[in-house]
Chains A and B, each alone.
Chain A
Amino acid sequence: MSERDPDAELVAGVGRQEPAAVRTLVARKLPRLLALATRMLGDRMEAEDVAQEAFMRIWKQAPRWRGGEARFDTWLHRVALNLCYDRLRAHREEPADELPDAVDPAATPDAQLEAQSREARVRAALAALPARQREALVLNYYQELSNIEAAALMGITVDALESLLARARRNLRAQLAGDDLAGTRTSR
């Protein structure tokens, strides 16, 4: 990797237990970790636990961190995702890329759907996605990782990533079907 890691200097400071470096790293990474874990788990409290655990790994790893092998941000995403998958497995959600049969948004009463906020409905639709599709979408769309970074992080090819992304978007559209995606009523 020829590109310089933008976090390398900061991580070195954390490794030296410099309080300013610790604060800066927390300010830079905690919101991203929290957003990632919240979307993967669909639960803010669990996401906070994951974020704290991820930072414990950072404190442990920082003194030994060697730049050039992987970007720190990529490593951190992998750590957080592994922690998320540990929790998803505990909830019996295996990393799959097929939509589970149980998901049937049409079964949700209309009145309840209407009561949900737009954000909550998107969150529910994201949570209903198979974990691997959700991971691909979260990494590429929300975490704004490049396709190459996201594919490497997931251990798949870019083609496989694109397939997951396309299926995720198709499933989301289906989940949210019946609602006017642009905010105006259209025929179903």
Chain B
Amino acid sequence: MTPERFRAIVDAYGADARHWPEAERAAANAWAAQHRTEADALLAQAAQLDVWLASDAAATDMAPDAALIERVIASAPDNRRPREQRQPRRLSLTWPGGGSRRAGWWWSGAAFAGVGLIGGLAGAFAVSFFLVTGNPSPGPESSYLTTGFGGTAADWSEE
């Protein structure tokens, strides 16, 4: 520890050794003990400002008021409600053996898959039907290609 470094420490961190760099604290204290007069002169000047800074600590570091504390706690996610009330609102479909937290998700997925399966089956049925009959109906396509004056496959005369 040099006099210059001791001065730099006190200039930056003040007279209270608790604020000094941990790695240099012991050496700085030792230097101060060995150079009491010189150290005291530096420390006294810094201590004056420390007294002022400490006076603000008493005023500013007061406890937050209860309303603020409650507001902050209330902003935490779902922590005020009992656990059983904290489940997200979902369709309450559960298996007989016990509730499943993911029932809603599961059922919506199953419904989606079911619709896809039904569509697939309907398509397969139509293809197999045409293959069996071997004579697909001209259906709406031929009537679509004709004009209203040229007659249509459908007979509307009775209407």
A interface list, Cβ under 8 A from B: 14, 17-19, 22-23, 26-27, 30-31, 34-35, 38-39, 48, 51-52, 55-56, 59, 118-119, 122-123, 126, 140-142, 144, 146-148, 158, 161-163, 165-166, 169-170, 172-173, 176, 181-183
The 10 residue pairs across chains A and B that have the minimum distance between CB atoms:
A181-B48, A119-B59, A165-B12, A162-B12, A122-B56, A166-B11, A19-B79, A22-B76, A166-B12, A22-B79
B interface list, Cβ under 8 A from A: 8, 11-14, 18-19, 21-22, 46, 48-49, 51-53, 55-61, 63-64, 68-69, 71-73, 75-80, 86
Please report the C-alpha to C-alpha distance between residue A17 and residue B78 in the assembled complex, in whole angstroms: 7
Q: Which residues of B contact A146 (CB under 8 A)?
A: 21-22
Is A181 touching B19 in the complex (CB atoms < 8 A)?
no
The DSSP consensus for interface residues of chain A is: helix
Q: Report the minimal beta-carbon distance from B34 to chain A, rounded to whole angstroms.
A: 23
Known contacts A140-B13, A147-B21, A162-B8: A119-B55 contact under CB 8 Å: yes
Contact of B49 among A52, A123, A172 (CB under 8 A): A172
Please report the C-alpha to C-alpha distance between residue A118 and residue B56 in the assembled complex, in whole angstroms: 8
Q: Which residues of B contact A35 (CB under 8 A)?
A: 60-61
Please give 11 more A-B residue pairs, beta carbons under 8 A apart, in addition to A26-B69, A141-B19, A144-B19: A17-B76, A17-B79, A30-B72, A52-B72, A55-B75, A118-B55, A123-B56, A142-B61, A158-B21, A162-B8, A169-B12
Please report the C-alpha to C-alpha distance between residue A31 and residue B86 in the assembled complex, in whole angstroms: 29
Is A122 touching B52 in the complex (CB atoms < 8 A)?
yes
Known contacts A59-B76, A119-B59: A147-B68 contact under CB 8 Å: no
Please report the C-alpha to C-alpha distance between residue A48 and residue B72 in the assembled complex, in whole angstroms: 10
Can you name 11 A-B pairs with beta carbons within 8 Å? A14-B76, A17-B77, A19-B76, A27-B69, A39-B60, A119-B55, A141-B13, A142-B53, A165-B11, A169-B12, A172-B49
Q: Report the minimal beta-carbon distance from B17 to chain A, rounded to whole angstroms.
A: 13
Known contacts A35-B60, A141-B14, A142-B57: A51-B52 contact under CB 8 Å: no
Is B14 touching A55 in the complex (CB atoms < 8 A)?
no
Please report the C-alpha to C-alpha distance between residue A34 and residue B75 in the assembled complex, in whole angstroms: 16
Please report the C-alpha to C-alpha distance between residue A188 and residue B82 in the assembled complex, in whole angstroms: 65
Is B55 touching A31 in the complex (CB atoms < 8 A)?
no
Please report the C-alpha to C-alpha distance between residue A46 and residue B159 in the assembled complex, in whole angstroms: 80
Q: Report the minimal beta-carbon distance from A71 to chain B, rounded to whole angstroms.
A: 16
Contact of B72 among A39, A51, A126 (CB under 8 A): A51
Q: Report the minimal beta-carbon distance from B120 to chain A, rounded to whole angstroms.
A: 40
Is A30 touching B68 in the complex (CB atoms < 8 A)?
yes
Contact of B13 among A27, A38, A147, A172 (CB under 8 A): A147
